Structure 1
Amino acid sequence: MRPSSVAVVTDRSSVRPELRGRILALVAIVCAALNLRLVVTSLSPLLTTVGEEFGFAATVVGVFGTLPLVAFAIFGLVTPAIMRRLGPEATAALSMLLTGAGQVLRAFAPDTGTLLVLTGVALTGAALGNVVLPPLIKQYFPDRIAALSTVQMVAIHVGALFPPLVAVPLAEVAGWRAALGAWSFLALAAAVLWTVQWRRPGTVPRAAVPSGGPALARPIWRVGMAWRMALLFGMVTWNVFTLFTWLPALLNDAGHSAAMAGSMVSLMVGTSLLFGLVAPTVTLRAANTFPIVALGLSGYGIGYLGVAAAPEYAPLWVLFLGMGTSLFVVVMTMINARSATPQGAAALSGFVQGAGSGIALGGPLLFGLFGELTGGWTLSYVLIAGGSLVVAAVVAYAERTPWTIEAAAQGRHPDRRADELLHD
C-alpha cells in the first residue's frame, strides 16, 4: 500500500504547480489581450480635443491612425527573433511594460511630436503582445486552443470597446490627459503577471512542447497564397484602423457630439464582438469562405454609405460597420486554419500580419489626406474605403477554397488536393 500512496503524492505534487501556472497564465493572457487595441481606441475619441490644444490638422490624425499599422508591420516580423532570445514569457512581460509606460508618459506629452513618439512606444508593446500571445496559448493550453483563442478574441474586443465609451466623459471631468493615462494600470498589471509567470519554474505542461515538422518547400515570400492572404488581411485591417481613427471625426463633422461619436466606436466594436463569437466556427466549417467575407464587405459598404448620406441614423450604420469589422476575426481564423504544421502556422501568421499591416498603412493616412485636400470626405469614401472593399472582394474570391500553406509551397492547388483526397 505504501508504494501506491507515494505514487499518488508524487503525482499531485507535480500537477499542482502546473495547474497554478496555467491559471496564472490564463489571467495574464486575458490582461494582456485587453491592451492590444486599447492603446488605439483610448486615444481616437480624444484626438479632436488634443488637436485643438496642440494645433494639429487632419493629416496628423491620419498619422496617429497609421502608427499601429507601422508597429504591427515591423514587429510582426521582428517579434519571433525577440522570443527566441528572451523566451515567450519575458517577451510578453516586456510588451506590457512598454505598453503601460507609453500610456502613462504620453499623458504628460507637451507637444504633438512627443505624443506621437510615446504613442509609438505604447504601440510597440501592443505589437509585441499581438504576436506573442498565440504561441503562449499553444504553450500553456495545447488541449484548449479553440477555447482560449475565443477568450483572447473576447478580451481584445472588450479592451477596444470600453475606452471610447468613457473617454470623452472622463476627459470632461478630469481632462484629456487623465482620460488617456488612466488605462495604463491594465498593461502594468499584465507586465507584473507575466514577470511572475516567467520566474515560476516547472509550470509549462509537457504536452505544450511543440512537435517537429517539415519546413516549407519554398520560402514563404515566394508563395502566392501567402501574398493573397496578406493582401486580404491588409484590406480588412485598412478599414478597421481607418474607422478606429476617423469614425469619431466623421460623426463630429456631421453634427454629433464628441461623447456620442466615441460611443459609436464602442457600438461598432461591440457588434464586431457578437459576430466574432460565431465567425470562427462558421469559417472553419466552410468549404467556400467567399460568402462569409462578402457578407462582411457588404456590411462595410452599407455602413460607409449610410454614414456619408444619412449620418443622423449613425447607430444603424455603425451596426453594419461592426459586421464588417468582424472580418478581422474571420481572416485571423483563416490564417490559423490554413496550416498543417506548427512551422507552417508560425510562418504564415508572421508573414500575413507583418506584410498585411504594411499594406494597410495607407488607409488611415490617405483617408485623412484626401479629406483635407478636398475639404470633404467624398473622395476618401470612394477611393480609400470603396477601393479597398473591391480589392478585398477580388482576393477573397481567389482564396475561397481552403488549403494549407504547406500545399501551396509545394505548388499543389486546392482543387488538385481535393482530387487527391477523393482518390485516396
Structure 2
Amino acid sequence: MSVSSVAAVTDRPSVRPLTAAPTGALRGRILSLLAITCAALNLRLVVTALSPLLTTVGDEFGFAATVIGVFGTLPLIAFAVFGLVTPAIMRRLGPELTAVLSMLLTALGQALRAFAPDTGTLLVLTAVALAGAALGNVVLPPLIKQYFPDRLATLSTVQMVAIHTGALFPPLVAVPLAEAVGWRPAIGVWAVIALAAAGLWVLQWLRPARGETARAVPAPPRTALARPVWRVAMAWRMALLFGMVTWNVFTLFTWLPTLLADAGHTNAFAGSMVSLMVGVSLLFGLVAPTVTVRSANTFPIVALGVAGYAIGYLGVAVAPEHLTPLWAVFLGMGTSLFVVTMTMINTRSTTPGGAGALSGFVQGVGSGVALGGPLLFGLVGELTGGWGASYLFVAGGSLAVALVVAYIERTPRTIEAAAESAGRSTDGGSSVRA
C-alpha cells in the first residue's frame, strides 16, 4: 500500500445534508459550531490583551525588556507542555470535557491576573490562562474532525476566523480601555468570553444524556496509529514547520509594539498595528484552509507567507516610519501561515484519533522549538544594543528553516499512512519516506 495523499480532498457535501438532519441532530450541530467558535475566540486573546499594556504594567511593577521576553515565551511553554499532555487528558475526560476544562482555566487566569499585586503573580496567573488556551489549541482540531468530518475546510476557516478575531480586537482597544478604566479591568474583562465558551461545551457534553444525537453525520472511528506518532518522521517535520511559524507569530505579538514604540510611535498606534497585522492575517485565513485542503503542493503557500514576513521585517527595520501600516500588512501575510499549519493537522489525518495525536505532537514539540523566538529576539537586542542582529538571526534564520522544511514536506500525506509505512520499512518491508 502506498502512502496515501489528501491532495484531492475537498470540502465535499455531507452524505446527509445538514438541513435534512433530524431536529435534535441539527441543534447539536449548531451548538457544536457555536461552542467551537466561542472557544477559538479565546486562543490568542490571552496574549494580545496583555502585550500592548506590558510597557504600562512594567512601569508600575518595575520590570525591564527581559521580562517582556519572558511574557512572550510563556505562551510557547504552555503550548509545548500541554500540546504533549492534552491527548492523555482527552483520553481521560473526553474531548468535550477537555474543552470545558480549557475554557475554565482560561477564564480563571484572565480574571485573577487583573488583581495581581506584583510581576511574579502576574506571570503565574498568565500561565494559568495560557494553560487553558493551550488545551484548547490541541482539542479543537479533533473536535472539528469529530463533529464536522464532512466540512473540514469550512470549519477550519471558522476556527481561524474566530482565533484571529480574538487576537485582533484586544490590542486595538487595550490602550484606550486602560486609559479610561485602568489596565487591570482592561485585561480582566475578557474572561467573560471564556466563561461563555465553557458553558456552551457543558451544554454540548450534556446532550447525549438527553438522548439527542450530537452530530448530523457519523464521525470516522478513533483508529490508533500503527506506530507512536513520535516515531514518524513526517510528524517531526510538521512540528518543525509549525515551530518556525509559531516562533515568528509570538515574536511579533511580543515585540512589535516595543519595536514601533522605540521608533517613535505612540503605544496606541503600536497596538493598532498589531491589530492591523492580525486583521490581514484574518483575511488570508478566509481562503487559506480551502487552498491548503485542495493543494497538491503546499510549498508555494508557505513560500508566499515567508516572503511576507521577510518584506515586513525589513520594512520595520529600515524603511520610513510613515510606511509602517504597509509593513504590518506584509507581516500579516506572514502570520497567516499559522492558519496553513493548523489546517494541515486535519488535512493530514483521516480519523479523530489521528488528528488528536498529530495535533498534540505538532503543537507540543513545535511550541517547544518556538520557545527561543521571543526570548532570543529581546536578548540579542539587549546584547547588541540594537535590533539589527535580532532581525537577521532570530527572524531570518527561522524563516530559512521554514522554507527548507516546507519544501521537503510539500506533498500532503496522512499521518495514519505515514505511520503504517514507517512500520513496514522498519520491519523489513519496502522503504517509504514517512
TM over 0.5: yes
Give the superposition deviation at 1:218: 3.0
Check the 8 A contact 2:66/2:379 in 1, yes or no: yes
Give the superposition deviation at 1:222: 2.1
| Residue in 2 that maps onto 1:268 | 277
| Residue in 1 that maps onto 2:265 | 256
Q: Which of 218, 234, 243 is residue 227 of structure 2 equivalent to?
A: 218
- Looking at structure 2, the residues matched to 25 and 336 of structure 1 have their Cα atoms a distance apart, in angstroms, of 17
1:189-228 Cα offsets, whole Å, 9 max, x none, are: 1122222322332342374443254x43433222222111
Gaps of at least 5 residues in structure 1 are 1-13, 420-424
- Looking at structure 1, the residues matched to 351 and 200 of structure 2 have their Cα atoms a distance apart, in angstroms, of 30
- In the TM superposition, what are the counterparts of 1:320-399 in structure 2 within 5 Å? 320-399=330-409
Q: Runs ≥4 in structure 1, deviation > 6 angstroms?
A: none
- Looking at structure 1, the residues matched to 353 and 229 of structure 2 have their Cα atoms a distance apart, in angstroms, of 11
CA 1:64–1:146 in 2, change beyond 3 Å: closer, same or farther? same
Q: Which of 70, 73, 80 is residue 66 of structure 1 equivalent to?
A: 73
Residues 1:408 and 2:413 are matched in the alignment:
no
- Looking at structure 1, the residues matched to 88 and 397 of structure 2 have their Cα atoms a distance apart, in angstroms, of 35
Give the superposition deviation at 1:346: 2.7
| Residue in 2 that maps onto 1:125 | 132
CA 1:407–1:132 in 2, change beyond 3 Å: closer, same or farther? closer
- Looking at structure 2, the residues matched to 114 and 212 of structure 1 have their Cα atoms a distance apart, in angstroms, of 40
* 131-140 or 311-320, which deviates more: 131-140
Q: TM-score, structure 1 length as denominator?
A: 0.90
- Looking at structure 2, the residues matched to 172 and 227 of structure 1 have their Cα atoms a distance apart, in angstroms, of 45
| Residue in 2 that maps onto 1:97 | 104
Q: Which of 224, 229, 232 is residue 241 of structure 2 equivalent to?
A: 232
Give the superposition deviation at 1:403: 2.3
Give the superposition deviation at 1:278: 1.4
- Looking at structure 2, the residues matched to 271 and 393 of structure 1 have their Cα atoms a distance apart, in angstroms, of 21
Q: Which has the greater radius of gyration? A: 1
Give the superposition deviation at 1:326: 0.5
- Looking at structure 1, the residues matched to 222 and 129 of structure 2 have their Cα atoms a distance apart, in angstroms, of 35
- In the TM superposition, what are the counterparts of 1:52-91 in structure 2 within 5 Å? 52-91=59-98
Give the superposition deviation at 1:141: 2.8
Which amino acid in structure 2 is aligned with residue 45 of structure 1? P
RMSD: 2.0
1:281-318 Cα offsets, whole Å, 9 max, x none, are: 22223222212111110110010010010251210101
- Looking at structure 1, the residues matched to 170 and 89 of structure 2 have their Cα atoms a distance apart, in angstroms, of 30
Q: TM-score, structure 2 length as denominator?
A: 0.88
* SS state at 1:293 partner: helix
Q: Which of 180, 183, 195 is residue 173 of structure 1 equivalent to?
A: 180
Q: Which has the higher helix share?
A: 1
Which amino acid in structure 1 is aligned with residue 155 of structure 2? L
* SS state at 1:142 partner: coil
Give the superposition deviation at 1:407: 3.6
Check the 8 A contact 2:145/2:351 in 1, yes or no: no
- Looking at structure 1, the residues matched to 25 and 293 of structure 2 have their Cα atoms a distance apart, in angstroms, of 31
- Looking at structure 1, the residues matched to 418 and 128 of structure 2 have their Cα atoms a distance apart, in angstroms, of 37
- Looking at structure 2, the residues matched to 41 and 249 of structure 1 have their Cα atoms a distance apart, in angstroms, of 13
Check the 8 A contact 1:251/1:311 in 2, yes or no: no
Check the 8 A contact 2:285/2:336 in 1, yes or no: yes
Check the 8 A contact 2:79/2:134 in 1, yes or no: yes
- In the TM superposition, what are the counterparts of 1:180-199 in structure 2 within 5 Å? 180-199=187-206
Check the 8 A contact 2:143/2:352 in 1, yes or no: no
The size of the alignment, in residue pairs, is 401
Gaps of at least 5 residues in structure 2 are 1-20
| Residue in 2 that maps onto 1:24 | 31
CA 1:306–1:120 in 2, change beyond 3 Å: closer, same or farther? same
| Residue in 1 that maps onto 2:161 | 154
Give the superposition deviation at 1:100: 0.8
CA 1:267–1:43 in 2, change beyond 3 Å: closer, same or farther? same
- Looking at structure 2, the residues matched to 405 and 139 of structure 1 have their Cα atoms a distance apart, in angstroms, of 17
Q: Percent identity?
A: 79
Give the superposition deviation at 1:80: 1.7
- Looking at structure 2, the residues matched to 294 and 84 of structure 1 have their Cα atoms a distance apart, in angstroms, of 37
- Looking at structure 1, the residues matched to 87 and 132 of structure 2 have their Cα atoms a distance apart, in angstroms, of 14
Higher relative contact order by CA 8 Å / sep ≥ 6: 1 or 2?
2
- Looking at structure 2, the residues matched to 165 and 311 of structure 1 have their Cα atoms a distance apart, in angstroms, of 23
- Looking at structure 2, the residues matched to 49 and 101 of structure 1 have their Cα atoms a distance apart, in angstroms, of 23
Which amino acid in structure 1 is aligned with residue 376 of structure 2? L
- In the TM superposition, what are the counterparts of 1:286-305 in structure 2 within 5 Å? 286-305=295-314
| Residue in 1 that maps onto 2:57 | 50
Give the superposition deviation at 1:84: 1.9
* SS state at 2:22 partner: helix
Which amino acid in structure 2 is aligned with residue 220 of structure 1? V
Which amino acid in structure 1 is aligned with residue 299 of structure 2? F
Which amino acid in structure 1 is aligned with residue 27 of structure 2? R
